Structure 1
Amino acid sequence: MTMDLNKLVNNALAELTETGYVENVVKKALEKTVSSVVDDLIGGYRSEFKTSLETHVKENLNVDMNKLNLAGYNVLLLNAAQEILDDQIQTEGVERVKRELTKMFSPLEKKEWKLSEIIEKMKSEENEDHEKDGESISFHYDDSFSLGIHVYFDPEGNESKYGCKYTFYISRDEKNKNVGRLNTLNIGGKELTNKQILNGFYGFDKFLFQLYATGATIIADHDYVDEAYGYDD
């Protein structure tokens, strides 16, 4: 049996053509050829086009440094730097606000707190080194109002209610006059400001803010408040 080589080649070429292989080979070959021609014309190290372009640029790009407005240039740089700085401050500020608010508005371990527990937390933080053992805090309680209760307290003793570091107002629950939520909160003798909130709170101040911000329930058990710093605090 005689092998028809021409027929085999023709059949193979026909099959490659149908699958698009030949077309791709031709396309790639053309791409290489065109790239080589263009590179020879304008991209070569010693090409005539490259030499002409360099000569044209050198002859026409003449900068007179004496005529440059350097003062204006400095202003331009300062403005650009200020824009970058403002953008960074804004970005950092937003991220900081997110971090601080996430921490401050994070839930406490429970939603209901006794007034006596709140006072004990302050005493525990203030007397961590037992320097106040045997001393007393300042504590004032006024429940003469029908709608709420005023509470004033301070880690130092002998403070009047208006001189206390911490003051808050508990809005009474309709069903239980000794239970409510913090309606107002003053720290350091001042109502809360945006600046204080953005700067963040720490320790007991943060705890009070979380009580206020998360709407925790307060049980006004003022009769159980211990005003003395114990030796175990």
Structure 2
Amino acid sequence: MNWITDEYKEITVIVEDKYGSKYVYIDPEEDKDWFNCKYRLVLNKDDLTVDRAEIDEKSFDNKVIMGGLYGVDKSIFKMWTRKAKLIIDNYETTFSNPEYD
């Protein structure tokens, strides 16, 4: 996925184990609670492939797809349709833009 921009920006990424699955919540804004995140992924507990994906509380269906998908929405859709495997590292990650260091 190409989410690189020229400006510095923090995002929200939350990973939780619950209900026998791994949930990943992502939002383009910082400090969001899990229930307010724009993107929600549910990963299969055994192989960490994407079992379910939601954008703005909408699961993928014909209405969402027919409306057209672009950017991150399109990338998340591809992850879901291809049953992509996500690798979750267990460490705190900080990304920085050298122009702002």
**1:141·1:222 contact (CA, 8 Å) conserved in 2?**
no
Report the aligned-residue RMSD: 2.1
- Mark the CA change 1:152 to 1:209 in structure 2 (over 3 Å): closer, same or farther: same
For residue 83 of structure 2, what is the aligned residue in structure 1? 215
Which structure: greater helix fraction?
1
1:169 to 42, 51, 54: 42
- Mark the CA change 1:219 to 1:205 in structure 2 (over 3 Å): closer, same or farther: same
Equivalent position amino acid for 1:150 in 2: Y
Identity, % of aligned positions:
27
Equivalent position amino acid for 1:165 in 2: K
Q: How far did residue 195 of structure 1 move?
A: 1.4
1:159 partnered with 2:32 = yes
Question: Secondary structure, in 3 states, of the residue corresponding to 1:195?
Answer: helix
Task: Give the aligned length.
Answer: 98
Which segments of 5 or more consecutive residues in structure 1 lack a partner in the other structure? 1-117, 174-178
- Mark the CA change 1:198 to 1:225 in structure 2 (over 3 Å): closer, same or farther: farther
1:128-167 aligned at under 5 Å gives the runs 128-130=5-7, 133=8, 135-145=9-19, 147-167=20-40
**1:163·1:189 contact (CA, 8 Å) conserved in 2?**
no
Structure 1's consecutive aligned runs of 4 or more residues displaced over 4 angstroms after TM superposition are none
**2:41·2:51 contact (CA, 8 Å) conserved in 1?**
yes
Per-residue CA distance 1:96-124 (angstroms, 9 max, x = gap): xxxxxxxxxxxxxxxxxxxxxx6xx44x2
Q: How far did residue 165 of structure 1 move?
A: 0.5
Question: Secondary structure, in 3 states, of the residue corresponding to 2:49?
Answer: strand
Which structure: greater strand fraction?
2
1:181 partnered with 2:54 = no
**2:60·2:77 contact (CA, 8 Å) conserved in 1?**
no
Q: How far did residue 190 of structure 1 move?
A: 1.9
TM-score (ref. length: structure 1): 0.38
**1:149·1:170 contact (CA, 8 Å) conserved in 2?**
yes
1:231 partnered with 2:92 = no
Which segments of 5 or more consecutive residues in structure 2 lack a partner in the other structure? none
Tell me, in whole angstroms, the C-alpha distance in 2 between the residues paired with 1:138 and 1:161: 9
Q: How far did residue 167 of structure 1 move?
A: 0.6
Per-residue CA distance 1:174-222 (angstroms, 9 max, x = gap): xxxxx41111101122222311112221112111111100112222224
Per-residue CA distance 1:77-136 (angstroms, 9 max, x = gap): xxxxxxxxxxxxxxxxxxxxxxxxxxxxxxxxxxxxxxxxx6xx44x2xxx241xx1x42
For residue 89 of structure 1, what is the aligned residue in structure 2? none
